[in-house]
Structure 1
């Protein structure tokens, strides 16, 4: 017989091959406690009993009165690491477990020592590569060009708008075109910037903030409020009218039919054109489909005689003479009706003038309309209104209507600054769920049951 104490004291042999079994059967509480203490010390520092007095207190003997100049401060800043690399630095005082990490050496570090010594020796003797000389020359040229274009700070001895301040002769030339000037200045190296005309142009003549309807006030007059309600009611009636029209053209056109009647109608429709059960008696006198019969008699090609042709020619000449005489008579009569003709011309001119004015007004109205900037058409927002019961005499008790952000957004769309768009609701992603091999119910039961065996 084995005692109970010996059974409890005996170590259980378990497999620690996989991570799941390792985490399950290994006790790491002491490691976690140690790491937690370390983190606590990093946040608040070690306990005061362990720190010496020299580290806790400092005796100032010499006052720090040294003031650094601006250049010295810049040098100190330059030696410090950049702030953008702070994310790459470790935020804890725990040392890196990997002492030696792989790092890509710089170009200078990869150079051979003999090559470095040779370069230093050549530089001391005045032997410099051509690319370094050209780079220094280009750098100096760029600095001179910057200084040439920009005046010194505090120098107001010249007028910016005078022609004397222009350095090149092409800039002072009055006969040269702007394109020629730009072309020449680009060759010299002066950048000529051109502002795009569309930036300064207004997208729409409409004001940024439109004045609201007077009926929207918190204390409107009766006439203004009734006018606003009438506009809203008319708009609502239009919507109802369109809705009724759609129902009339779609649902209203068809009547409801029972299933029996539907089946009968279908049988009649499908049996259309088929021979009936009674049969049809075709009369013997009726003509067959193969025979061809005509209603009109056949046409004969009868040619005209010489006399008929001569008469036709004479008639054409007489008709021509008659038209010429009629035209001459009209010219004579038009001389006597000059006054009437001038009145007709005036009427035509007045009509054209009215049409021009109408066209001009239409163009001006079209400018105020919103342009088609995308597939979605712009729709005016609904008017904000209060009923007579909701109106209060002060702003404190007034119920808010609408949203300021939506109003500004719609205003930008109306003024062709933004393209009209629809509200897109986010679709829920279809997440595929599955259970891990070690997290199934059967596996859990087996592992738990196995531990108590």
Structure 2
């Protein structure tokens, strides 16, 4: 291709043509020789023609036909008066509709190509001359093998005896009529007639769940004192709250240390008193034996030997039985006397017992109500479920000198993942757990003493 400019000598400018067309079909345009019709037709440049055809195909996909075949009345419209209802017909802007949904909503006006024949082509198809029933009857008369499902041969002598599926089964006929989640039908009571055995309906127990009682939000609004520039009263209130929690923790730790110290002191006392005996065991002093003389010498702390009581005579046994019978009779008289004295005051005792019972029940009801209110407000914080205890929410507060008073110098406090996991535990959505750290596997070193080192001279 040669281009010329005015006032200057024309210089030939050669433009290289691509070896690939815009539509994607390969072309051979770089061949210099075009001798003959075949070479001319093969190496001709038809990229502009293909681009025009592709534009026409795109118009046909969107509109249904090309713009050249469309009339002017369908393309243009002169609006003189205007339409007040056009604003209602226009699609409204929707923030919920995604761009991907809008793209998928645009469909081509060209109908899709189906592999199955349409109804028009099916109607033109020639109908068979012999129906299926007539063909089956003729095969049965001629005693020819009849093909069933999966190319199986049906025995004509045992037609319908399991050799092939002739009709639909009952399960297929009743498919879609049974609902597994539908409530059971009500049982009909037979008032007249013979006795019948009816199946009892099982009543589902109504169990109260703790999760339904808890009314704790997933994300609790933070205290006003946790701000980077909080009011003085809120900051002091949060500091006192954190101080109380820390003081209670230190007090519990001191109590535990005291109990441990008492246990250790008791162990030391036992070890000091009996140094030769293991801790936790107390034994009496044994009798020290004299091995030389073969005689046993009693220690100072020996227990006295138990003497057997002398046998009673017959008169002593009768006297003891008579005294025992008199004691029993006196005890029965005293019990009867107490019972007769308590009969007039039975009403008073009943009233006092009912009063005590009502007070006890009222206190128990108040305790249960307070417990339910606490669970409703704070969840399961501080309660032990199974092995572990649900941890309470920690108070995050900064001291006065640590406050930044500006967002630029603010330092993050706490952990969002830990707070979220703690919220799930307190709302009874996740069971309480403790972090399990992986243990480092340590190989045990086994030492062997070689035989050469077992025999050596000692000085």
* TM more than 0.5: no
TM-score (norm 1): 0.43
TM-score (norm 2): 0.42
Larger helix proportion of the pair: 1
User: Larger relative CO (CA 8 A, sep 6+): 1 or 2?
Assistant: 1
